[in-house]
Structure 1
Amino acid sequence: MIIREWRGRAAKSNPQGYPHHFRSKVMPELGELPGFLGAHLCRRDLGGTIEFLVLTKWRSLEAISAFAGDDVGQAIVEPEGVAALVDFDNRVQHYETIEDI
């Protein structure tokens, strides 16, 4: 299993904008993709902003490539997601799961 990690930051005045987008748009679309296994949406207070951490689980890098294209390290952020954030990572990280308990 591969974990895909991405982070975005939102204004404190808009704490529900990105979570709403994630639940209503991102998850339904990802749920239709072969090889997508699930996701976690996490948040933390950074003082002036809220950081969201998205961890998606995939069967393989090939499955990620079918979603993200040839450059699997490029973040895929839809316009609605961009609008809900003040800043976000343009690149993602991938981790091979070596133990899942």
Structure 2
Amino acid sequence: MIARTWRGWAPAATADDYQRHYETEVAQHLQDVPGFQGARLLHRMDGDEVEFTSIVFFTGLDAVRGFAGEAYEDAVLEDDARRALSRWDDRVSHAEVAVSL
């Protein structure tokens, strides 16, 4: 299993907008991706912003490519996400899940 990890930051005023976007639009899109195995959205205060960390699980890199395309190391952000966030990582990281409890 592959974990795809990405971070983005939102002002406190629009953090709920980003979380709502993730819970609806992102969740709906991911459900349609063959090989999708689940996702977690973490958040924490980081100064005046909320830092979000998205961890999405896929069966393998072919499934990741099914979601993100051939440039799968690039972040995938829809317009609603870009409006809610103040900044984000342009690149994502991928790692094999070694232990799942």
TM-score, L = length of structure 2: 0.96
CA RMSD of aligned residues (A): 0.7
By percentage of residues, which structure has more helix?
2
5 Å matches for 1:11-50?
Answer: 11-50=11-50
Partner in structure 1 of residue 55 of structure 2? 55
Unaligned 5+ residue runs, structure 1? none
How much identity, in percent, do the aligned residues show? 35
Corresponding position: 1:75 with 2:53:
no
Q: Deviation at 1:32? A: 1.0
Alpha-carbon distance between aligned partners in 1 of 2:99 and 2:51, rounded to the nearest angstrom: 26
Q: Deviation at 1:15? A: 2.5
Amino acid at match of 1:73: E
Q: Deviation at 1:48? A: 1.5
Q: Secondary structure at the match of 1:76?
A: coil
Number of corresponding residues: 101
Deviations, residues 10-48 of structure 1 (Å, cap 9, x unaligned): 001222011000011000110111000100000010011
Give yes or no for contact 2:5–2:53 (8 Å, CA) kept in 1.
yes
TM-score, L = length of structure 1: 0.96
